[in-house]
Structure 1
Amino acid sequence: MTVSGGWTRLQPKLEATRRRVRSLESEPDRRNSFMPYTPERDSAYVDLDGQRLLMMSGYSYLGLSGDERVVAAAKAAMDVYGTGAHGVRALAGSLPLHEELEAEVARVAEREAALVFSSGYAANVGTVGALCGPGDTVFIDKYDHASIVDGCQLSGATVTRFRHNDPDHLDRRLRASDPSGVRLVIVDSVYSMDGDIAPLPELREVCDAHDALLMVDEAHALGVIGATGKGIEEHFGGSVRVDVKLGTLSKAIPATGGWVAGSAELIEHLRYQARPFLFSAALAPAQAGAALEALRILQREPERVAHVQRESARLRTILTEAGMRTGQSETAVIPLIAGSDERAYDYATACRKAGVIGLPVVSPAVPNTLARLRIAVTARHSTADIDVAAEAFLTAARQCRLIEA
C-alpha cells in the first residue's frame, strides 16, 4: 500500500498519541480508558470481565440510571414517537415531547423558557456563539470546561481568562477590557475536576459593576448542590440570579442532551441563532422521555440530593483525615490527588485490585503534578458502599505511598 504525503505528514501526530497511551497503559491491568463496564440496574456496582467492582467515578448523581420509572418513560416515548426524530428541530424534528421537556427544564431552572440541545457540549458552544462574536469579549475562569473554551474560540470574540474562583482578578480584567460590545463572564457552578463551587455572589457583584452578563454551567450542580438540588442559585439561598443558565441531561439526569434556560427573549434568539441547535438532529424521543421523568423525580424526591451531600461529605472527611489530598472539594466530586500522571495510573490500578473503580484524570486535563482520581458520590451509593470505597482508597494509597502506611 502506497502512503500518500498527507498521511506521512500526519503520522507524527498519530504516533505521539500511541506513545502517550502506551506510556500510561503499558500493561493490560493498567488500562483505565474506554473500558466496557456493564452496570447493575439496582446498585452502584459494575461488571468488568466477570469481576464485580464498585464504581466510584460515574456521574449519575441522583442514582437514576436504570431506575424503572425512567426506563419506562423512555420506552413509552419510543412507543409513541419511534426511535428518532424526523430531522432538525427547526424543520420536521420538533415533537410535543421536546416542548414538554423544555417546559420542565424551565420550571426546574426557575426561568421563563428553556431550549434543549443534543448535548451539553453543543449547548455551551451554541450559546456562546449566538451571544458573542467579533468585537465582543468573553471572560472565562481558568478551570472552565473544555466546551466553554471551545465555544469562546469558535465565536470569534476576544477571550480573556481570569484566575480560578478569583472575583478580584475578574474585576481587574474587566476594568482593563474594551467596554464596547457584549461582555460575557462564564463560570462552572461546580468544577468537574475539583468539586469546588463558584463564588456566585461576588461574581455577580463584579459583573454588575461593569455591565457584564453572567452565564453559569450547571452540569455538575443540578441534583448535587442546593437544598433540593436545583443548583448554584439555590445553594446561595436564592438571593443571586444569573443571566444565562445551562447544563446537561447526561449526569444527574441520566439521558443525553443539554439545556439552556433564561428569558423568553433569550431563548427565542438561541432557537434561531445557536448553530449546534439549528444544524443538529433533534434529541431522540427515548432520551427526551427519560430526561423528563428524571427531572420530575428530582423534584419529588429531594432526599436523593440530601443523601449525596451527606455521604460525599462523610467520604471526603474520612479520606482527608487519613492524609489524602482532596483539594478544595466541597461537593459530590472529590479529587484524590496522586501527583504525576504515572502515579495516578498506579493508584487507579491499585484501587481496582482492591475492588473499587476510581478513574484517573491526567494532563492536559489537569497539570501533570496534580493528576488524580476523580471520584463522584451518587444517590446509588449506600452508606456501606461508601465505607467499602473509603477502605479501598486508603489501602491502595498506602500501597502507592500516597499516605503513610
Structure 2
Amino acid sequence: MNASAAWSRLEPKLAYFRDRVRSLEYEPNRKNSFVAYTVERDSAYADQDGQRLLMMSGYSYLGLAGDERVVSAAKAAVDRYGTGNHGVRALAGSTPLHEELEAEVAKFAGREQALVFGSGYAANVGTVGAIVGPGDTVFIDKYDHASIVDGCKLSGATVTRFRHNDVAHLERRLAAAPDTGVRLVIVDSVYSMDGDIAPLVDLRKVCDAHNALLMVDEAHALGVIGATGKGIEEHFDYEVKVDVKLGTLSKAIPSMGGWVAGSAELIHHLKYAARPFLFSAALGPAQSAAALESLRILQREPERVEFIQQESERFRTTLHEAGMSTVDSETAVVPVIAGSDTAAYDYATVCRKNGVIGLPVVTPAVPNDLARLRIAITAAHTKADLEFAAEAFIKSARECRII
C-alpha cells in the first residue's frame, strides 16, 4: 500500500471534524473554538480582535489568575529553580517545592498525604488505572468527565454506567454485578456541564452497603462549594467522607496540574503504580508555586467563595425570572440552554455583539436539543459585571427567540 492509499483510509475521520466545525463556524464572527483571548489581569474582561468583552465562560473561579501575589510567587520560583525540572518525580524531577505543595494540598483536603500530577486529566487516568484493573469493576455516573471515562477504559476493569445522580440505579447496578475484586464508584462533585452536585451522603451509604470504594473528582468543587471552598465533604457538613479525593490545579486554582489526596498508603501506591505520574515530567516550578500561593490565599480569603455562591444564586434567579433554563445548576457553573447546536452558536454570536463572551457547548458533549452556553461566575466579576451580563444574555436570548 502506498502512502496516498494509506492516508485515504484516514480521510473519513479527518473529514468528520472538518465538516462538523465548518457547519457551525461558517463565518468568522461565529468562531468559538480555539479563539485567542487577551485577558485583563485586574478584571473579568478580555480582548478579542480589538473588542473588549466581558468573559463569562472562564474557569478562574477565585479570580486569582492575575493576582500579583500569585504572579510574584511564580516569578520567585523561576528565579530559584529555573523554568523546568530535571525529569520525572521518581528520578531527578522532585524539588522541595513539590513536597511543600503536596503537604498544602493534603492539609486542605483533610488527608494524610497528597500527590500532584501534571494535569487533572492525568490524575484521573493514573489514579483509576492504579486502583482497578482486569477482574475489578468500576461504576461511573453517565455525566462523569471524559478523563474518568478514559481512565476506566484504559484500566481494563469492567465498566458499568449508571444514570446521572441516580443512587437507586447505582444500587441496582452494584447488586447485579459480581461481588468480586475491587469495586469502585466514581463521580464528579460538581458536574461541569450542568453545575449540579453529586448526592454524596446517599452515595456513601450505597457504597458501604455493597463493598465499594468511593472516588470523587473535585475539579469544579474546590473553591466553589462548601462554606470555605473545600469541596463536597464540607458542602455536606462532613457527614461522610470519600475514599479517594482528587481534582485540578487549573480552575479555581489558576495554575496547571492535578492532585490526589488520601491515606499515606494510597499515595505511596500511586507514586509507583500511576503511570501518568511515574512516566511524565514533574510539574514546573512556576506552576507549583502559583498553585501553592493560590491555595494559601483561598484559605485566608474565604469571602471569595461566599461571593461566588451568593452571586451565582442571584444570577440564576435573574435568568429564571426572564424565562430562561439553567437546568439543575446549583453552583458557579451555570448552563444557559439554547436548544440545537446551531441555536447555541447563534446565541453566542449575538451575545458577543451585546458585549459578553458566552461559549457554546454542543453535542456530543451534551444531549441533543440541550446545547448551551456554559457560564461560570467568578470572584473576578463585580456585581455590576454580573448585572450587565444577565441583561446581555436575556436581551440576546430574546433576539434569538430563545425566550
TM-score normalized with structure 1 length: 0.99
Looking at structure 1, the residues matched to 23 and 82 of structure 2 have their Cα atoms a distance apart, in angstroms, of: 45
Q: CA deviation at 1:17?
A: 1.1
SS at the partner of 1:19? Answer: helix
Counterparts of residues 1-12 of structure 1 (less than 5 Å): 4-12=4-12
Matched with 2:72 is 72
Matched with 1:195 is 195
Looking at structure 2, the residues matched to 6 and 265 of structure 1 have their Cα atoms a distance apart, in angstroms, of: 49
Counterpart check, 1:383 vs 2:383: yes
Matched with 1:278 is 278
Matched with 1:328 is 328
Q: Which runs of 5+ in 2 are unaligned?
A: none
Looking at structure 1, the residues matched to 242 and 119 of structure 2 have their Cα atoms a distance apart, in angstroms, of: 21
> Per-residue CA shift, 1:233-288, capped at 9, x if unaligned?
00000111000000000000000000000000000000010000000000000000
Counterpart check, 1:30 vs 2:55: no
| 2:68 aligned partner, one-letter code | E
Counterpart check, 1:359 vs 2:359: yes
> Per-residue CA shift, 1:142-183, capped at 9, x if unaligned?
000000000000000000000000111000000000101000
> Per-residue CA shift, 1:292-351, capped at 9, x if unaligned?
000000000000000000111100000011111100000000000111100000000010
Matched with 2:176 is 176
SS at the partner of 1:102? Answer: helix
> Per-residue CA shift, 1:108-132, capped at 9, x if unaligned?
1000000000000000000000000
Counterparts of residues 211-360 of structure 1 (less than 5 Å): 211-360=211-360
SS at the partner of 1:84? Answer: coil
Looking at structure 1, the residues matched to 129 and 207 of structure 2 have their Cα atoms a distance apart, in angstroms, of: 20
Looking at structure 2, the residues matched to 368 and 88 of structure 1 have their Cα atoms a distance apart, in angstroms, of: 42
Looking at structure 1, the residues matched to 367 and 248 of structure 2 have their Cα atoms a distance apart, in angstroms, of: 26
SS at the partner of 2:338? Answer: strand
Looking at structure 2, the residues matched to 19 and 5 of structure 1 have their Cα atoms a distance apart, in angstroms, of: 21
| 1:224 aligned partner, one-letter code | V
SS at the partner of 2:369? Answer: helix
Looking at structure 1, the residues matched to 321 and 238 of structure 2 have their Cα atoms a distance apart, in angstroms, of: 33
Looking at structure 2, the residues matched to 3 and 29 of structure 1 have their Cα atoms a distance apart, in angstroms, of: 37
Q: CA deviation at 1:3?
A: 5.0
| 1:381 aligned partner, one-letter code | H
SS at the partner of 1:98? Answer: helix
Looking at structure 2, the residues matched to 122 and 15 of structure 1 have their Cα atoms a distance apart, in angstroms, of: 29
Matched with 2:127 is 127
Looking at structure 2, the residues matched to 333 and 292 of structure 1 have their Cα atoms a distance apart, in angstroms, of: 24
| 1:143 aligned partner, one-letter code | Y
Q: CA deviation at 1:12?
A: 1.2
Looking at structure 2, the residues matched to 326 and 373 of structure 1 have their Cα atoms a distance apart, in angstroms, of: 10
Looking at structure 2, the residues matched to 129 and 24 of structure 1 have their Cα atoms a distance apart, in angstroms, of: 36
| 2:361 aligned partner, one-letter code | V
Q: CA deviation at 1:4?
A: 2.0
Matched with 1:112 is 112
| 2:248 aligned partner, one-letter code | T
RMSD between aligned alpha carbons? 0.7
| 2:334 aligned partner, one-letter code | I
Looking at structure 2, the residues matched to 367 and 31 of structure 1 have their Cα atoms a distance apart, in angstroms, of: 22
Runs of 4+ in 1 over 2 A off after TM superposition: none
Looking at structure 1, the residues matched to 240 and 256 of structure 2 have their Cα atoms a distance apart, in angstroms, of: 29
| 2:30 aligned partner, one-letter code | R
Matched with 1:60 is 60
| 1:257 aligned partner, one-letter code | G
